[in-house]
Structure 1
Amino acid sequence: MSNNTPPLDFEKAWQGKLKTGLDQYLAPKERDRILAGGEHLTMESAAKDKIIWSCKMLERLEDVSDEKTRQEIMTGCACHYPKAELDDARGIFLETGDVDQVIDLLQAKFEAFLRDVLELDEELVLEIISKGWGLAGVREGDRIIATKIPKSGYLAEYFQSGDPAEKRKLYCHCPRVRDGVGDDPQLPREYCYCGAGFYQGIWETVLREPIRVEVLESVMDGGDVCTIAVHLPESITVDNK
Structure 2
Amino acid sequence: MNDFEKLWRNKIIHHTKIVTNNKLKNEIKKIEDLNPVSYSNKIINVLKDNTDDTHIKEIFESSACHLPHIKLERAKSVYKKTKSIVEARNQLEKEFIVDIKFYKDLNDNQLEFIIKNGWGLAGVYKDGKIIATKVPSQFHEYFETNNTLKKKYFYCHCPRVKKLLLNKDVDFDSIYCHCGGGFYKDVWEYITDSNVSIRIISNLFKGDNLCQFEISFK
TM-score bucket (shorter structure): over 0.9
Counting only pairs closer than 5 Å after superposition, residues 42-191 of structure 1 correspond to structure 2 as: 49-151=35-137, 154-183=138-167, 186-191=171-176
Identity of aligned residues (%): 30
- 1:69 aligned partner, one-letter code: H
Q: How far apart, in 2, do the equivalents of 1:115 and 1:29 lie?
A: 46
Give the superposition deviation at 1:107.
0.9
- Displacement of 1:219: 1.1
One-letter code of the match for 2:93?
A: Q
Q: Does the CA-based 8 Å contact 1:169-1:178 persist in structure 2?
A: yes
- Cross-structure match for 1:17: 11
How far apart in 1 are the matches of 2:67 and 2:155?
A: 18
Report if the CA contact (8 A) 2:19-2:58 is conserved: no
Runs of 4 or more off by more than 4 Å in structure 1? none
Amino acid at match of 2:115: I
Distance in 1 between the 2:48 and 2:128 partners? Answer: 30
Shift of 1:185: 5.5
The partner residue of 1:205 within 190, 205, 213 is: 190
Pick from 141, 156, 178 the counterpart of residue 193 of structure 1.
178
Query: Which residue of the partner structure matches residue 232 of structure 1?
Result: 217
C-alpha distance after superposition, 1:12-37 (max 9, x if no partner): 00001101111113443332223433
The question of whether the paired residues in 2 share the 8 Å contact of 1:146 and 1:228 is answered with yes
Partner of 1:4: none
Query: Given that residues 51 and 185 in structure 1 are in contact (C-alpha distance below 8 angstroms), is that contact kept between their aligned partners in structure 2?
Result: no
1:28 aligns with 2:22: yes
Q: How many residues are treated as equivalent by the alignment?
A: 216
Q: Which AA in structure 2 matches 1:106?
A: L
Q: Secondary structure at the match of 2:19?
A: coil
Amino acid aligned to 1:136: A
State the TM-score, normalizing by the size of structure 2: 0.93
Runs of 5+ unmatched residues, structure 2: none
Q: Is the 8 A contact 1:150 1:173 kept in 2?
A: yes
**Cα RMSD after superposing both structures:** 1.6
Aligned to 2:205: 220
Unaligned runs of 5+ in 1: 1-7, 42-48, 234-241
**Aligned partner of residue 132 in structure 2, secondary structure:** strand
SS in 2 for 1:181: helix
Deviation digits for residues 76-131 of structure 1, max 9, x if unmatched?
A: 11000111121111110111111111111111111112323333111111112221
CA shift for structure 1 position 73: 0.4
Q: TM-score, normalised by structure 1?
A: 0.84
